[in-house]
Amino acid sequence: MITVNSLAYEQYEAGGLTNVAFYNASGTQLDSWLESGNSNSSTNTIYWVKLPNGIPASSSITIYMRFYQPLSNTQFNSNNDGEAPQLSSTYGQYDDGANVFDIYFNGDTPTSDFVTGGGDTVTQQTGVTLPNGATGNVLRFTTGSSETHTTVDMFTTESLQNSPNYYISEASFESDGSGTDMDWGLAQNSGTATSYAAILAGTQFSSEYFDEAYISNSTSWKSNINGQGSTTTAWRYSSLTYNSPSSFYAYIAPQLYSTSGGYSGTVSANPIASISPLYWGWWGDTGASGHWIQFNWVRVRAYPPNGVMPSVSFGSLSVGTSTATSTTSTTSTTTSSTTTSSTSSTSTTTPTTAITNAATNAATNAATNAATNVATSAATNAATNAATNAATNAATSVTNAATSGPTNTCPTSNQPASVYGNVNVTLANGTSIPVSEVKPGDMVLSYNLVTHELQPSSVSEVKAFTANNKYIFNGKLDTDGTEILYLNGKWARAYTAKVGDKLFDPLTGKNVSITSIQVLNTGGTVYDLIGSPVNDYIGNGFLIDKDTSIIDSCPSMSEVGQSLIVMANGSAEEVQNLKVGDMVLSYNLQTNKIVPAVVISIKSLYANNEYIINNNLTVDSNEDLLVNGTNMLAQNLRIGDKLFNPITKDNITVTSIEIKKNVSIKMYDVNTAPIDDYIVNGYLIT
């Protein structure tokens, strides 16, 4: 069991933690099951991770917790990376408990997986309100009319090896609240639906909240041991521990791992100690047919050595690029956690394979702080393998079929960014018309990248040009090569796009993968829209920029060497001291969250101009800033405009701009991945 402070890794995690997975040191994924705390704001997330070879006595092992990026990169499945059934939007959609625990079933388990007798029945109930308020399925066990005190009449077909192995049986259940006794636990199975040896935890005996029972043989049994409390119909949890040949322990409570609000007891007898194999079994009271108990899930897991769960500690976060099995490479955030057997202490390390050394070194400080906040074993590592499933970069190994297309020459700052007339533009009233029909004064729907809200903008000018090329994305968006698209969370020219990159649909708030790019050497009439206050619009469902001056890949975009850039560990470093591989903080405009990024290139150059903004940010005229919710070159900045501070989420008013021309000043151009932006002197540089 690994307990994680998910809040400490919030920036790397999807809201429901669906991008988290666990791996061993050799890179093999480990089966894991998310029990509770399935939110990136949770400070107490519980995972169960199956270790195929366990942990040798007095030793430790290191496993890794990866956070895949982008956050929408769901790793959950019903095979090796899942969660408790009630946590999924569709009951049991990602429940892989059967691959994590020794015995497991939930409300979707086929009733044929049970052997029944004594008139008892097991049925699936749908539309049941579950412990977390969600609606889903349960398995209902109903008493029959032929039970006896000395037989258990309901079994799983799955079994367990007994001694020297010990087990803990746990369940999420509710009952009908009657005074009809019902018990469940570990039992013998003679091959038919009867058992003459069992240890059991139960409820409702004489309307009690909790009791224990056991069956010794066909003539000897004892019930209502340690009976306490008053029964309830509320959801609760049971736990039965078999860890001794002469006794067993059990409790029922409103939560697991604590008897608070519930009751517990130890029984000084154990009739199953010499029986193998063992089964999970259920027993209903005699002479009281038609009463029921129903289970959300039931699991049986190994009893930990000496009764102490392995301790867990966390290593540092690493962010880097690793090679995937597909045609793309992925960037991920990983933290390592070390689990240690109960007889020794634990420590954690971080693997550096597939992660650049520089990135690892840079990430350690930030990660260490974060890791200490997280009391969770394998979570830490994982966090970094995916701290940016930067699968965003990944797409770099995928090439377009554009080799025969127009030359990808660098556009001039005046080169139009245009779409073909068949592209439909979304108007402010929600309707759409072809861009060729848009007129000055029309109100179109824009998307503010700072507020993450749709807002109307007025078209001030419509320009028509003749293009000599055409780029067709996903068979539905026709542009010329110089059109500006919101690509992988940043504005980019169409000709730079690759299969696997992500376009953004503001109407749904979702990223859409580019699955095809067709490039033609023949063109036609294209259109460019100019408007305000937000310089973008929605064409065929994708976010498109309409101000050609906001992006230009040829001119330098740089800041002076003494500018302070925010590092991933929260410290500040002068830009001139950065190295390739260093980790800095970036801002994902799609998720509105700060994320780490790797410096992939640094260029020094001499600029012939200098823009000093608010007396604390010095850039050249072609630096790209986030202004008024969209991208803008520094040369177009005006007093009263708003710059964005990602740390405080504040918009900072531009109160002064000092411009120096005909100078020669050394500046630096920095590129980062998977998000190509960073924070300098408190401002977002894009």
Q: Which amino acid is residue 146, in one-letter code?
A: S
Compute CA distances 89 → 93, 109, 131, 380, 460, whole Å: 8, 18, 14, 26, 45
Q: For the residues 577-597, what does the mean pLDDT come to?
A: 86
Q: What pLDDT shows up at residue 552?
A: 43
Is 116 within 8 Å of 193 (Cβ atoms)? yes
pLDDT at 468: 79
Q: In this model, does residue 464 exceed pLDDT 70? A: yes
Task: With a cut of 90, say whether residue 613 has pLDDT above it.
Answer: yes
Residue 190: pLDDT band with limits 50, 70, 90: low
Q: What is the pLDDT of residues 7-52, one digit of tens each?
A: 888 888 899 999 999 998 888 899 999 999 999 999 899 999 999 8
Instruction: Decide if pLDDT at 444 tops 70.
Output: yes
User: Residue 133 — pLDDT band, cuts 50, 70, 90?
Assistant: very high
Answer whether 154's CB lies under 8 Å from 281's CB: yes
pTM of the model: 0.53
List the one residue out of 353, 383, 389, 379 whose CA is nearest residue 366.
383
DSSP 517-584: EEEES--EEEEEEEEESS-EEEETTEEEE--GGG--SSS---EETTPEEEBTTS-EEEGGG--TT-EE
- Confidence grade of residue 491 (pLDDT, cut at 50, 70, 90): confident
Q: If you average pLDDT over every residue of the chain, what do you get? A: 79
pLDDT band at 546 (very low <50, low <70, confident <90, very high): low
Q: Say yes or no to pLDDT of 383 above 60.
A: no
Question: Greatest CA span in the chain, whole angstroms?
Answer: 104
pLDDT in tens, 326-354: 222 234 556 555 555 433 222 222 232 22
Contacts of 508 (CB under 8 A, 6+ apart): none
**Please, which pLDDT band fits residue 376 given cuts at 50, 70 and 90?**
very low
Q: Which of 507, 501, 367, 503 is nearest to 431 (CA)?
A: 507
Residue 358's CB is within 10 A of a number of other CB atoms, namely 16
96: left (phi over 0), alpha (psi -120 to 50) or beta: alpha
At 360, is the pLDDT very low, low, confident or very high (cuts 50, 70, 90)? very low
Asked if residues 298 and 368 have their Cβ atoms less than 8 Å apart, the reply is: no
Calculate the alpha carbon distances from 358 to 321, 361, 516 in Å.
12, 5, 35
The residue-averaged pLDDT of 236-242 equals 97
Among candidate residues 407, 412, 388, 637, the one with its CA nearest the CA of residue 488: 388
Residue 415 has pLDDT above 80, yes or no: no
Closest CA to 597 of 491, 678, 511, 524: 678
- Give me the pLDDT at residue 286, please: 64
Helix (H, G, I), strand (E, B) or coil at 306: helix
Mean pLDDT of 450-454: 79
Q: How far apart are CA 281 and CA 419, in angstroms?
A: 67
pLDDT at residue number 152: 80
- Which of 86-90, 301-305, 539-543, 558-562 shows the lowest mean pLDDT across its residues? 558-562
